[in-house]
Amino acid sequence: MNIEVRFYSRGGNTKKVAEAVAKAANTSAKDCSAPITEPVDLLFLGGSVYGFGLDENTKNYIQSLTPAYVKNVALFGTSAIVKTGNPGMAKLLSEKGIPVLENSFYCRGEFTFMHKGRPNDTDLKKAADFAAAAVKSIQDGGK
């Protein structure tokens, strides 16, 4: 099974989650400058929210994806206040005809005085559990 992890992270919070996800999925995490160049069974895709929306890099990355290569996506994300990152990514992926797993992972990410130390070890353990469950669901042929 071919599994890839991609993320966009300005401050490193989402990168931490990406690395926990990648470790649990026995692969490595790459940022959104790395294109998908061959078919993948499961792409873990992470992003966060800046100024109440997704970063342009995240949106552009999703636009670069094709259902011919990306069979399933599992989303993860961090933000400080609103939780619109994962639903926003899911919408764009659906518009491209790329299936998105029902289960996604979200946790708070440190921002100025808010959520110091997040994602923390507990968040990262939950992210790893999410990743393992997503891999298993694809192995089992479900969603």
Ligand X SMILES: Cc1cc2nc3c(=O)[nH]c(=O)nc-3n(C[C@H](O)[C@H](O)[C@H](O)COP(=O)(O)O)c2cc1C
Tell me which residues touch ligand X (CB under 6 A): 9-15, 48-52, 78-82, 109-111
Angle between helix 13-24 and 121-139 (nearest 10): 40
Q: Which residue is nearest to ligand X (CB)?
A: 109
Nearer to ligand X, 16 or 128 (CB): 16
Question: At its nearest, how many Å lie between ligand X and the CB of residue 48?
Answer: 4
Nearer to ligand X, 21 or 49 (CB): 49
> How far is residue 70's CA from residue 26's CA, in Å, rounded to a whole number?
18
Nearer to ligand X, 31 or 41 (CB): 31
Residue 37, CA distances (Å) to 7, 9, 104, 116 in order? 16, 21, 24, 37
